[in-house]
Amino acid sequence: MSEHYASVEVNAPVHQVYALFTHFNDFPKFMSFVKEVTYYDEQRSHWVAQIMGTREWDAVNEEWIPDRQVAWRSTSGLQHRGRVEFSAMAENRTVVDVYLSYTPPAGILGELVDRAGIDSRFDETLQRDLEHFAQMVEQAPPGALDPMESHYLFHSESATAKGTITQQQRESMERDPMMDAQALEQRDATIRQQAEQQKQTVEQQQAAALAQLARQQQAAAEQEQALMQQAEQDSQQAQQQADAEAEHPAVEDTPHPVYDTLGGRNASIPATTLGDRDARNERFPGYNQDPMVARAAAPGPGHTPPLSETEVESPWSTAIRGRQPENLQESEQQKPPSSEEQSK
């Protein structure tokens, strides 16, 4: 028993992939090693393929699960089985796995053929044809369920294009209403029209891309020019400022060793509006005088009133000793006579 496997990922929904693959009669239109698939009825078919020479067999369908699996087995001719599994990986992505097995022709010749590397070449052919199927599906319109709606049919490697299909396959294709001359001409016209539309779309996209690139380049050039102008203006302003400083050099403000210090720590600071300007003046003039009279109003210029007129008695003294005489004469009058004066 010779077993083979191939897998491919198709960018299409699983239902569309399943529907297109089950058109066995269209296999020769995109596959290279399948020369004929004709139907006896809905369950039985006749196959002709290039497997170690031209091989034929009748097959019957089995184990069909919609959108998941199709399978078949031979009932006569080459002993053969096939199974295809469809796995939806995403909304528009499907993985197709193909499993084929067959029994080589009996005798030593068949074993020698297997050993000669025919199986490995068949694996390559199977994988390539499965990739052809993926391209056929992807080039079909969205939702198309008939392979004839795809543009990829009859490509140069297909059995139909190479002329290796059987007479029965050719007759079955002629009976297909989508294969008559008028339908094929309409199909070719549609393909040409869509190709022209796609070409125009590509040209428009390229033109838009070139225009966008031109706008970006123009904007970059304008920005570079603006930066150069700004740099030139900054250079001129810097030169003018340097010339002005050279003509009128700034006078260095030397901090005062006493009044421009902060907190008596000899940390020189510039005399600013918020600096310690108050330190330049005595905070409490006459602080060494009696604190009760130190804040008396200063007399006018050229006037030195007597002490009695400048003294201001504090409320504290009045509360303790009572009210004092306002002047010395009143004080002398109120003073009691001395003993000498009484003797006189």
Residue 73 lies in a domain: yes
Q: Which of 75, 76, 130, 135 is nearest to 99 (CA)?
A: 130
- What one-character DSSP code corresponds to residue 41? S
| Lookup result for tokens 């094929």 | 184
Residue 140 lies in a domain: yes
- Alpha-carbon distance of 344 to 282, in angstroms, equals 56
- Alpha-carbon distance of 126 to 103, in angstroms, equals 17
With bands split at pLDDT 50, 70 and 90, how would you rate the model's confidence at 112?
low
Average pLDDT, the chain: 81
Long-range CB pairs of 223-226 (<8 Å, 24+ gap) are: none
| pLDDT tens for each residue of 148-166 | 889 899 899 999 999 999 9
Residue 253 lies in a domain: no
Cβ-in-10-Å burial (0-12, 13-18, 19+) of 151 comes to: middle
- Alpha-carbon distance of 50 to 33, in angstroms, equals 5
| pLDDT tens for each residue of 37-79 | 999 999 999 999 988 788 999 999 999 999 999 999 999 998 9
| Lookup result for tokens 């059995």 | 159
Q: Which of 56, 54, 55 is nearest to 45 (CA)?
A: 56
Between 59 and 120, the higher pLDDT residue: 59
DSSP strand pairing (69-77 vs 2-10):
unpaired
- CA 83 vs CA 72, 185, 210: distances in Å: 7, 35, 50
- Three-state SS at 77: strand
- Alpha-carbon distance of 134 to 155, in angstroms, equals 13
Residue 322 lies in a domain: no
- How many residues does the structure list for the chain? 344
Lowest mean pLDDT, pick from 80-89, 188-197, 257-266:
257-266
* Parent domain of 101: 2-179
Average pLDDT over residues 245-251: 80
pTM for this model (two decimals): 0.58
Secondary structure of the chain: what % helix, strand, coil (to 5)? 45, 20, 35
Confidence check: pLDDT of 15 > 90: yes
- Alpha-carbon distance of 49 to 280, in angstroms, equals 114
| pLDDT tens for each residue of 299-308 | 556 655 555 5
- Alpha-carbon distance of 326 to 316, in angstroms, equals 17
Q: What's the domain count of the chain?
A: 1
Q: Which of 288, 290, 267, 289 is nearest to 279 (CA)?
A: 267
Longest dimension (CA), the chain: 180
Determine the pLDDT at residue 327.
52
Confidence check: pLDDT of 268 > 60: no
Q: For residue 27, give the CATH number of its domain.
A: 3.30.530.20
With bands split at pLDDT 50, 70 and 90, how would you rate the model's confidence at 29?
very high
Lowest mean pLDDT, pick from 63-72, 77-86, 313-322:
313-322
Residue 191 lies in a domain: no
Cα torsion 232, 234, 239, 240: sign: positive
- Alpha-carbon distance of 136 to 151, in angstroms, equals 7
Residue 55 lies in a domain: yes
Residue 13 lies in a domain: yes
Between 105 and 334, the higher pLDDT residue: 105
Residue 54 lies in a domain: yes
Within the chain, strands assigned E span 2-10, 34-39, 44-50, 54-65, 69-77, 80-90, 93-102
How many other C-beta atoms lie within 10 A of the C-beta of residue 132? 21
- Alpha-carbon distance of 177 to 320, in angstroms, equals 136
